[in-house]
Amino acid sequence: MTSPTDRWLAAAPAGLPPLEGPASTAERLLLLLHYGIDWDSGWVGRRRETYWTQHLPNRVRVATYIGGGDLDRWWSVVSRSLESEPTNTDQRLELATLLREESEPVLTLLRERPTSYVLRTRIVAEAVAAARSSGRKNR
């Protein structure tokens, strides 16, 4: 059985190299964060024009400081800030697994390189949206 992030990443363009280790964990956490946002009634949906360039990278980085050195606390801070939560059991299972990974290397990447991970998340999200609009399902 493939995870939700495996399905989303499968839609990514061939030029996007796969990540491993803490980098993969960081990417998958951001994908779950993005797809858990309440786009219809949350504040983020009303600020789509600056979501990718300001709100997402800034909140990801700030949460690495506020949340301390723990992925659980980081997730609590950033998901509350963006009004995001997993939307189904598969996403909750994957999130629970990812949050058990070693925190420090993942948080260091999210603190020092949030833009690169946000760009990767955007590339995947746009590819998933294109696949959905062409009739394929990756959700």
**Token representation of residue 11:** 């839609």
- Check residue 138 and give its pLDDT: 46
What pTM was estimated for this model as a whole?
A: 0.93
Q: Which residues of the chain have pLDDT under 70?
A: 136-139
pLDDT on residue 139: 47
pLDDT on residue 80: 96
**Burial grade of 63 (CB within 10 A; 0-12, 13-18, 19 or more):** buried
pLDDT at position 134: 85
Identify the pLDDT of residue 67: 78
Residue 111 · residue 61 · CB < 8 Å? yes
Bridge partners for 84 per DSSP: 37
pLDDT in tens, 49-74: 999 999 999 999 999 999 778 999 99
